[in-house]
Amino acid sequence: METEPEGYAIRIIAENRRGVLRDIATIVAAHEANIVMISQETFDSGPFKGMAELYFEYEASPSDDQNKLIADLTDISSVHEVKAYQPFGNIFGSRVIIIGGGAQVAQVALGAVNEADRHNIRGERISVDTIPLVGEWELALAVDAVARLPRASILVLAGSIMGGEVSKAVDRVREAGIPVISLKMVGSVPQHADLVVTDPIQAGVFAVMHISNKAVFDIHRVQGREF
């Protein structure tokens, strides 16, 4: 039976100039590491002001020496610091994303956090992210962005009325492979979601149960239903 490659994470502090990313990528490729997630930003203040941070998670080649990879990255003249970490998936795990009105979001989060706590005590890692928003355009932008969030596993839309551009964004998120739960509300969003739930607390519980590795609930088995 083939085993999955082990995941690692590295944070690099380097000079913010041309060619640095190329030099880092050359070393990573030489070690046959497969980058699965990467982010980059520059520092505007603090001890690293004017420098850049590169964080990436990767799958290592079974035959490669990870300490040697770190040493080779450290040897790049423009690199100031290299540190290894646990990948975010090992720390925060899969993410439940809750978007909508403040009161409804809070109630969905109540159910999701309580259910996640039950699973995380048993060794899983499920985190809950919330953002209360109003306005069709603002909601549509946020929903579309879910497909670009690392480790986002399910979206819950919690509001009183959503439709139009939000419904189109829901379709795009589902096409990206992320299931969507909607509260029962006015507007067309419930018609585009995988599941419609009346009780916001139960919606949060359903979301966590779906992404849990140990729960038996599967949203696809009740797809299109309303509870």
1.10.3720.10, 3.30.230.10, 3.40.50.10550, 3.90.1150.10: CATH of 92-222 = 3.40.50.10550
| pLDDT tens for the 227 residues of the chain, in order | 445 667 899 999 999 999 999 999 999 999 988 999 899 899 888 888 889 999 999 988 777 788 899 999 999 999 999 999 999 888 888 999 999 988 999 999 999 999 999 999 988 999 999 999 999 999 999 999 999 998 999 999 999 999 999 999 999 999 999 999 999 999 999 999 999 999 999 999 999 999 998 877 878 888 777 88
Total residue length of the chain:
227
CA–CA gap between residue 56 and residue 39 (Å, rounded): 6
CA–CA gap between residue 99 and residue 134 (Å, rounded): 10
- Nearest residue to 156 (alpha-carbon basis) of 133, 179, 138, 135: 179
Domain ranges of the chain: 7-89, 92-222
CA–CA gap between residue 200 and residue 193 (Å, rounded): 15
Quick one: pLDDT at residue 215? Answer: 75
User: What residues are paired with 126 via a beta bridge?
Assistant: 94
Quick one: pLDDT at residue 1? Answer: 41
Q: What is the pTM of this model?
A: 0.82
CATH topology of domain 7-89: Alpha-Beta Plaits (3.30.70)
